Amino acid sequence: MEENLYEKLGGQESIGKVVDYFYNELVLKDETVNQFFEHTDMEKQKKHQTKFISFALGGPNQYSGQSMAKAHQGMNLQPEHFNAIVNHLHDALAHYGVSEADIDTALTRVASLRDDILFK
């Protein structure tokens, strides 16, 4: 049986490292999007995001947060914000040696959430 992307990337612990790098080294240093996290408990955000990404990549469903539309309501996120986040996720996955084919699979799943996130 073929491994799913969650298993292939090393499970929740490895995804947690990607999420830490994603926020600490990329998102929070990017003036395009860092303002959206000014009043965010980042430890809670990272744990939440690790569970969400783990589930999105085929791992166990530990995600108990709001729907994407509800979580982004009132933020009025624009395409440039979404694209910046997608690019940062690409770079974080690449930083940890994930193949371009697997990154494309992961980003395709993220892209499916676009309509639930933008213009809310």
**Alpha carbon of residue 64 to chain centroid:** 15
88 is in an annotated binding site: no
Phi, psi of 58 (to 5 degrees): 105, 5
Dist CA 4 CA 25 (whole Å)? 27
Residue whose token pair is 């990272």: 46
72 is in an annotated binding site: yes
Indicate the annotated binding residues for heme.
48, 72
